[in-house]
Each structure stands twice: as C-alpha cells, then as structure tokens.
Structure 1
Amino acid sequence: MHLYSRDAYLAEVILNQPLVVLALVLGCSTAGLVALAVAKWRGWRKLPAVLAGCGLAMALAVTLARPELVRYSLFDPIYFPCVLNDFSLADSLARLNFLMLTPFAFFGTLATRRPVPVLLASAAVSGFVELFQTVTSVGSCEAQDFYNNVVGAACAVALAWLVNRVLLDRGPAPVAERESSTG
C-alpha cells in the first residue's frame, strides 16, 4: 500500500465513525455560527472565520468524539501519563496530527490577520486535547502529537500570513487594529 494510501485509509476509518460525523456536523454548525458572530463583531473576514470554526470543530471531533469508552483517571504523581516522544512525520497518524489544526490556523489567520494569537490558540487547543486524552483515556497523550499539531499550525499560519500580505490586505483593517491605531 502506497504511503499516502494508508493516510487516506486512516482518515476514512476515522470519518466512518458515526459519533465523529455527528460531532463534526454539530460542531461545524455551532462553531461556524459563533465564528460568524464574532467576525461581524470584530470586523474580521467572515468566510475565513466560519471555515476556521469548522476547522476547529473537525479537529475536536476526530480526536475527542471517538467511540472508545470514556473513563476518568486520576493523575499518578509517580507515573507521567504522556509518552515523551519527538516530532516526526514517519507514519500516518503523525502526518494526520501535523494536518489536524492546519485548517483552523490557516483560516483563523486569514480571518483575523493576527498570526501570533492564532498560533497560540492552536497550541492551547492541542494541549487541551492531549490533557483531555490523558484524563479520559480517549486516545493517548503523546508529546509528538502536540509537536506535530503546533508545527503544522505554524506552517499554516505562516502561509496564511503570506497570503494576507501578498493577496488580501487591500481592504479595511479589523476593528481591533483600527481602534488601537486611533487611540
């Protein structure tokens, strides 16, 4: 099986789970509407904001809405519950983790025109997911997942920043930028 065929197969297996699809549909609807409202309020680009909300919903759905039995565990001070591994793109799960937050980061940066807060939000989401997986035993907590999520988000933020600078920054600045430059 070709390298990327395995990646596509793994993505298909994840998206064939009814709970993941339900969480994705409900999450996209909810996050998209919230993102649209915030975009209108803050003066952000509306379509990229909605797509960022859907990207966030997708990331949370595929990582947290899996049908494994959720069981809460207590942290054992002697045992560190996360696998301390390094950044790698050697296998399908690692590559999917690299891509997990890229839609959120890319469209969030296009919408807000603020790359640093979007990257920090991406890192916070990734950290939350790893912590949630540790506490609930849904999936496993791995440092590599966090690194791959954040590096993927950083690449998406950089690309979106470049797109903003080269192609899109011809319109009015977001409300927050206009307020800070006048006051």
Structure 2
Amino acid sequence: MRIFALDGSLAGDGGNSSAMIDVAVEQLHPHAAVERAALASAPGFAAHRAALAAADALVIATGTYWDSWSSLLQQFLEQATPSEGTSLWLGKPVAVLVTAHAVGGKGVLSRLQGVLATFGALIPPMGGLVITRVGELARTHGGPGCEDIWSVDDVAVVCHNLRACVRGEREFQAWPVDRGDPGERWLRRE
C-alpha cells in the first residue's frame, strides 16, 4: 500500500498540520509506504503529480486561514483541475486532517472533502477531522462534553478507515461519540 501525505499548510514542516501528518504516518507506516511532501517547500500541482499517480490513497492536511484552507492548497487544487475525474483521483481514498486555532475548521473539512469528492476521490467513513487549539485546551482541563471533541487519538480511526478503503474492506471504526441528549440545554445564564 502506497500513501501520499501532502501538507497543504503555509507553515510546512514547522507547523501544526505537519505534526498531524506525523501522527498519521505513525499509524500508517506499519501498514504502508508513506511519501510526504509539503506545499510550502514545493508549491503547485506539477511537483506532486507523480507522487499522486503512484499513491493508492492520500492524506491531505491543512491549517485554517480565514475560514478556508491555505492559499498554497487552493493553488494546488486550481492547477489540478484538468485532472478531475482521471485515474489520479477516481476512486482513490483520501483522508483530510485540518487544524485550526479556534473556529472555522469544520467548514474547511466539509468543503475540502466536497472538492476532493468532485475530483473523483473516495471519502472514507470518518475520514477526516479537525484538531483545534481550543479543543486541545478543553480536553486538557477535562469536564463534561470533552469526550465529543476530536482528539489527536482519533487520527487512528481516520487512518484505519483509509486503509480499509484501499483494501476494499468494510471493517470501519468509529471514534467516541457523546450519545447523551443532543437537545439538552447547556447554555445557562446565572
């Protein structure tokens, strides 16, 4: 199994998206050969076309910049447009890892998965997540509701499901979910 991990963030190897790819590589490496690249070091689509073609699956990571992915990743996607619906993408499983300081990351995740599906990629169940600084702080301090905040540990589920898709299996995993009352009123003013 060959997996191409692309860091689409502006910070490149020194940023949070790179740290997320590190976690994914730890999960994937025993089961796959992983090739890494960072758009901050080698921008544009052409520089990564061969790695994309050789890969059985992809991991794409980005930070959140004003409610969107990075300008480097936007440029990559724009330049990749002529490859939409080709074997570079068609049916290729892709996991998406998004980091954000506080807010906006879930919108980035959903929109990016939508763009990748339009390119022809396959989005595995629970095939993406958002890790935020705010979420990490909340999880550090614990308390009710923290079990429903994505954690770095959930990358294991994303990677497992990505590998299952590559193998053509349906043995998917799920991360922990708060199954309490989602309609419960939690906002109170004293």
Please indicate, yes or no, whether the TM-score normalized by the shorter chain is above 0.5. no
Which has the higher Rg, Structure 1 or Structure 2? 1
Superposition TM-score, scaled by structure 1 size: 0.30
Compare relative contact order (CA 8 Å, sep 6+) and give the higher one, 1 or 2.
1
Between structures 1 and 2, the one with greater strand share? 2
Superposition TM-score, scaled by structure 2 size: 0.30
